[in-house]
Structure 1
Amino acid sequence: MKFNTKGTVYTLSSKQKLPISIDEAWEFLSSPANLKTITPDYMSFDIISGADKPMFAGQIIQYIVTPILGIKTNWVTEITHIVDKQYFVDEQRFGPYALWHHKHFIKEIDGGVEMEDIIDYKVPLGFLGRLVHPILVKPKLTEIFNYRTKKLIELFGDYST
């Protein structure tokens, strides 16, 4: 997992290999309902609407999540781009970030698939948000993506070359 800073826009990137077919990976990853499965339980992640159909460009998904201090947060994302079994993009329309643009890539490799997440995000509250980023936001995102990595291994097995 890597974090980069471009001005006040931060980038998180993460790669993971899984020993499953591209069809199996796409079926799981492109189902909004499975996001709850790969999110830590303490976040009380609940999908309010929009996860009842297969993913499509223009799809609006509404969630309630409790990321920190028991504070419930409404989050609305839109699936803006999708290419079957290759990638999709979700963008925040309403929620805790000033900007959230999350690209999900998947490609077939020997013995399985490689998944790559690239998230460009900006924290709210200007200078105060930038001060809090390294002590609250960045560690929380690291924790969430480490959880996802472990959960996907638990669900699908560990990739070894």
Structure 2
Amino acid sequence: MPLICLETLVPATVEDCFDLSLSVDAHTASMHDSGERIVGGVRSGMMGPGETVSWRAVHFGIPWRMTSRITRYRRPDLFVDEQVAGPFGIWRHAHLFVPDGAGTRMTDVVHFRSPAGLVGDVVDRVFLVRYMTGLLEQRNRWLVAELTGAAGR
């Protein structure tokens, strides 16, 4: 099963990073290029323990729908979202926040698996790890810009 581990240093407090990362409004704004929009569950603001959100997005020219739930919540240092319905066989995304100097070390740990057995495994290794890492990097750049006031500059 593929594993993505991405660390991002953010010049903001752990609490601010945690809160913005749980905001469905921030997620929608950061994923604007893929046309992500909310189609069910929490529709605005921050998600909380046990809450779900359903997204619709277009990736590779194909519309996708995914519902995830906050399965672990320990403010301000950890939350986990997991797919409960959608395109992946498995999707688990842990978000960790640790003070680091004058800011926060934000770590994304993603375990996922495509459906379709061996074919899905090949697609994961050859293509999806790089694609999903790029999406996470895009989102984290947006979060850093938003948290540092650089958004819109």
Same fold (TM over 0.5): yes
Give aligned-pair identity as a percent. Answer: 20
Tell me if 1:58 matches 2:47.
no
What is the aligned length? Answer: 148
Distance 1:131 1:27, change over 3 A: closer
Name the TM-score, length of structure 2 as normaliser.
0.87
Tell me if 1:20 matches 2:12.
yes
Distance 1:31 1:42, change over 3 A: closer
* 1:35-86 CA distance string (max 9 Å, x none): 11222x3311001122335322210111101121x21111000111101111
Moved over 3 A (4+): none
Task: Tell me what 1:67 maps to.
Answer: 59
Q: Tell me the CA shift for residue 10 of structure 1.
A: 1.0
- Stretches of structure 1 that go unaligned for 5 or more consecutive residues are 1-8
Cα distance in 2, alignment partners of residues 135 and 42 from structure 1 = 23
* 1:90-145 CA distance string (max 9 Å, x none): 00011111000110011222111110010111111111112222333122112212
Task: Tell me what 1:10 maps to.
Answer: 2
Segment drifting more, 53-62 vs 9-18: 53-62
Tell me if 1:47 matches 2:38.
yes
Name the TM-score, length of structure 1 as normaliser.
0.83
Task: Tell me what 2:72 maps to.
Answer: 81
CA contact (8 A) 1:100 1:119 kept: yes
